[in-house]
Amino acid sequence: MIDPDFGLPAELLSQQVLTDSQRQNVKARNSLQERNDVLLNFMLKKNDQALLQFINSLQMTDQRHVYNFIVYGGGKQLYV
């Protein structure tokens, strides 16, 4: 699960992947699952460059487990 609370929305804002309005929309949700859903829905509407920045932002915000899952096909590829 993505952690949308500690650094990721701010990092995406600084990379101009999210607008401040989108960032606030994510933060305004009550549950972790809702914040995840809103963030992922925003990301699904982005272009390829923004998605690459999102993936890199996962690494920058210590969410390497999610980064590895995305980059390495959810465990379908061997990661050494």
Which residues touch 51 (CB under 8 Å, ≥6 apart)? Answer: 43
Q: CA-CA distance, 38 to 27, in Å (whole number)?
A: 9
| pTM (predicted TM-score) | 0.82
The pLDDT profile of the chain, 80 residues, written as one tens digit per residue, is 788 988 999 999 999 999 999 999 999 999 999 999 999 999 999 999 999 999 999 999 999 888 888 888 776 655 55
* Structural domains in the chain plus CATH codes: 8-75 (1.10.533.10)
